[in-house]
Amino acid sequence: MRFSVQTGSLEKLREMARSRCDSLRFGDEFCQERLPDLASLREALRIAKGKRFVYVTPRVSTRGLNLIKGCLDALQEQGGLGVVANDLGVLNLLRKHRGLEPHLGRQLVYAPARCPWPDIGGRDIASSPFHAFGVKYARSRVRDLFYQTNLSYLPTLELLKEYGVQTVELDWIPGSFDYYKFLAEYGLRLSVHSHLVPVTVTRRCHTARLSGEKSPENCSKPCEEKALLLRHRKLGIDLHLQGNTVFRLEEPTRQGMRELEENGVEEVVVAIGPLTKIENRRDLERFLKAMS
């Protein structure tokens, strides 16, 4: 299993470049305001020399896309680098940058099991029009669908292949691991993000509002340092807000690592930040040791 480290901070990238990780990822998956500019990207490339490099992009409006265009041109000169696309426009752009390897980002993969509510159980089904004795049957009928993604369909994979997609980004959701095998057998390379399962991405950034930010262009990016824990008194489920994204936490385990390997996953991605509690090189080394 290879390990990749993901961050939007040059300082962290520099620190992690000295770690045992196999590849470095630079950029942001969810927020276009956190996209690095061209100068930072060039610096990141320099730092990552000797390791595999992946540029991570979020869903973007025209403003963000224009910034990405410039960055892709610069990356193409280097060749052989990966680019995570979480936007159809970026995926389309990548067709014009043949030397780069498109990764299908998590926002382009629909995965119902990212849902934070408990697994489909008797209670849910019982509140549906189906009475109690049908519960077991109903559960067995949908459980396998719930844990699949929209990539569990051959024609979708064929269509994505036309757009050059060779790598797919997935979540650490143990109930879904078995379904990843289908994708690996099709010939896709799979990267699984540990710890953070994105539950929802908000159109307007709650962290920015909470922090009193006034405009996106001048955002001081409080999310780089801080995350919030959202606790509902009766629900008993903790959600985590970082920037414009609400996550639920899935703690990775060695058993999970083994299952991923058995199902053909080649890479685990670790995000650096307060939610994963991997904030420096020492934390990362400890994590790598625990998972190896």
Partner 1 sequence: MCKETIRMVKLLAPVSSFDSAVDVVKAGADELYCGVRIPSRLKYLWLNRRPECEVPTYEELERIVKYAHSRKVKVILTTVMPFMTQSVEGDLRSHLRSCLNQGVDALIVTDLGILSLLRRMSVEVPLHASTFFAAMNLEGVEFLKELGFKRVILERQLTIDEIREIVQGAGDNVEVEVFFHGGGCSNYNASCYLLHWRLPRLAVKERVNPCMYLFDVYDASHPQAGRLFENVPVLDAFTWCSACRVRQLVRTGITGFKIVGRCLDREAQAFATEACRSLIDLAEKEPKQSSFEEKLEALKRKIVAFNLIKWGGPSLCATNRCYYSPFFTNPYPPFARAVEAKAGRRR
Which residues within the stretch 65-94 sit at the binding site for partner 1 (CB under 8 A)?
A: 65, 87-93
Query: Can you tell me which of 123, 132, 133, 289 binds partner 1, judged by CB under 8 A?
Result: 123
Q: How far is the CB of 258 from partner 1 (least distance, A)?
A: 25
Asked whether 19 and 280 are in contact (CB, 8 A), the reply is no
Q: How far is the CB of 51 from partner 1 (least distance, A)?
A: 28
Does residue 24 bind partner 1 (CB under 8 A)? no
Q: How far is the CB of 127 from partner 1 (least distance, A)?
A: 7
Does residue 38 bind partner 1 (CB under 8 A)? no
List beta partners, residue 150. none
Would you list the DSSP string of 131-149? -GGGHHHHHHHHHHHHT--
Residue linked to tokens 């690095």:
36
Query: Can you tell me which of 22, 178, 213, 285 binds partner 1, judged by CB under 8 A?
Result: 213
Q: How far is the CB of 290 from partner 1 (least distance, A)?
A: 20
Does residue 122 bind partner 1 (CB under 8 A)? no
Residue linked to tokens 């990016």:
221
d(CA 166, CA 194): 20
> Encoding tokens for residue 143?
């459980």
Which range, of 6-14, 35-43, 195-203, 281-289, touches partner 1 by CB under 8 A? 195-203
Does residue 280 bind partner 1 (CB under 8 A)? no
Query: Can you tell me which of 37, 98, 128, 251 binds partner 1, judged by CB under 8 A?
Result: 128
Query: Can you tell me which of 25, 34, 59, 221 binds partner 1, judged by CB under 8 A?
Result: 59
Query: Can you tell me which of 84, 208, 268, 288 binds partner 1, judged by CB under 8 A?
Result: 208
d(CA 278, CA 287): 8
Query: Can you tell me which of 6, 23, 57, 148 binds partner 1, judged by CB under 8 A?
Result: 148
> Encoding tokens for residue 32?
């276009």
Please give the residues from 215 up to 254 whose contact with partner 1 meets the rule CB under 8 A: 215-216, 226-235, 239-242, 246
Does residue 62 bind partner 1 (CB under 8 A)? yes
Quote the Cα angle for 285-3-70, to 5°.
Answer: 115
d(CA 117, CA 8): 30
Question: Cβ-count burial of 185 within 10 angstroms (0-12 exposed, 13-18 middle, 19+ buried)?
Answer: exposed
**Based on CB atoms, which residue is closest to partner 1, 39 or 154?**
154
Q: How far is the CB of 86 from partner 1 (least distance, A)?
A: 9
d(CA 33, CA 63): 10
Please give the residues from 152 up to 171 whose contact with partner 1 meets the rule CB under 8 A: 152-156, 158-160
Name the nearest CA neighbour of 203 among 246, 247, 244, 239. Answer: 244
Please give the residues from 171 up to 190 whose contact with partner 1 meets the rule CB under 8 A: 182
d(CA 113, CA 119): 8
**Based on CB atoms, which residue is closest to partner 1, 39 or 145?**
145
d(CA 68, CA 26): 13
Please give the residues from 99 up to 118 whose contact with partner 1 meets the rule CB under 8 A: 107, 110-112, 114-118
